[in-house]
Structure 1
């Protein structure tokens, strides 16, 4: 009776072990069945991320090359802009649209304080042609900028008589007249004496009629920019001209 009890107990343990083993195997297979889709999904996501990464690398390389191209174009345009700016500045200086400073001469002319000896008072005053004579001599002497009583002279400027005054850039001026010129002061002074009309005006005529004259060589001359109009109404471009 005791032996049968032991045999029954062994059989119970065997059956219980078999059930546990079967349950464990079933659980593992079930877990594997659950994990399989997740693993495939993770693999698919990783591969997609790798594909996106490679595409992003190519896009970065393309953008970098495009940026370098833009930088080259910008550098070229910057160089062209700098050249245009310098050319424009030189043009503005040549046309008198910016102030001019430096060495040069100042010629001051004024009407004579003397009573007319020959009865003609016109011989004792400074006229528009007297100013033109001095200005033309200064231009021929290499003047870079010239002004009369602060009126900057340029290609469109005119000096002409207007009654008892002189009209410069449509501005009425009266004696005394201060003519300033920027340039080599020694050459400008020599030019005033080299020109026959200028030499006669500043020497014989001025001395005879008592006209006030003064010539100075200076290092600190300041000539303002031209402030008149730039409209050209009558001039036309000649077709086929250079």
Structure 2
């Protein structure tokens, strides 16, 4: 009986020892697994951070490219704006040139100056001293041009930069077209300025009157002039 009791105790000790060994092994295995999981998570975290850094770097590069593109667009818009100003200026100058050369119709406020032969001619005087001559027409045209007239016509015929005015007997020839008196000289421009230029003392108006030319000056709200005929 005594031997049997020792055997039981010994068996119990072995059982406890085996249990502790098994428990210790299981605990070590679990800890190892936890450590491995932590290492895997750490590697994943490192990869994630690297990916995030790459994305942030790429975003930084894209933002830099975007700013560069915006600067390029802004520079292009400024150049385009300057070109538009140049084109606008060119078109304005072209339009003014076409108006001067009579290539396009023109209308606007201005004045009309009517020159007519004298109604009364003394029998003992020379008739040529009482009619309108090309000199008188030239005086009026030059005065209008110096006062800023944009366009001028004589009896409806557009006067051009190189127009030729000549006296042929009782008529006036403008670029080969003959016009009898009265001569209605129309000018488009500032009516006040154009009219004032003829009211100057000892000016063109006084010269015309002293030459026995009947003169009428009228301000107009609207004067229309056609373009010159093609081939003129």
**For the pair shown, which has the larger CA radius of gyration, 1 or 2?**
2
Aligned to 2:197: 187
Aligned to 1:50: 56
Distance 2:212 2:224 in 1: 24
186 and 24 in structure 1: CA distance in 2 versus 1, 3 angstrom threshold: closer
Structure 1 residue 218 and structure 2 residue 219: aligned? Answer: yes
Deviation string, structure 1 residues 102-121 (Cα, Å, up to 9, x no partner) = 342331659x9xxxx9xxxx
Structure 1 residue 155 and structure 2 residue 127: aligned? Answer: no
Structure 1 residue 39 and structure 2 residue 45: aligned? Answer: yes
Distance 2:20 2:27 in 1: 11
Distance 2:88 2:111 in 1: 30
Displacement, 1:59? 2.5
Aligned 1:166-185 pairs, distance under 5 A:
177-181=183-187, 184-185=194-195
TM-score (norm 1): 0.57
Number of aligned residue pairs: 205
Which blocks of at least 5 consecutive residues in structure 2 are unaligned? none
Displacement, 1:138? 0.9
Displacement, 1:201? 6.2
Give the conservation status (yes or no) of the 8 Å contact 1:148–1:179. yes
Aligned 1:126-141 pairs, distance under 5 A:
130=132, 132-141=134-143
Give the conservation status (yes or no) of the 8 Å contact 1:150–1:223. no
Structure 1 residue 99 and structure 2 residue 106: aligned? Answer: yes
Which blocks of at least 5 consecutive residues in structure 1 are unaligned? 118-122, 203-212, 232-242
Deviation string, structure 1 residues 58-98 (Cα, Å, up to 9, x no partner) = 32443344345445544554554555455445545544556
137 and 221 in structure 1: CA distance in 2 versus 1, 3 angstrom threshold: farther
168 and 105 in structure 1: CA distance in 2 versus 1, 3 angstrom threshold: same
148 and 133 in structure 1: CA distance in 2 versus 1, 3 angstrom threshold: same
Give the conservation status (yes or no) of the 8 Å contact 1:106–1:218. no
Deviation string, structure 1 residues 4-34 (Cα, Å, up to 9, x no partner) = 6754653453244124213313422442454
Aligned to 1:208: none
Helix, strand or coil: the match of 2:198?
helix
Displacement, 1:199? 5.5
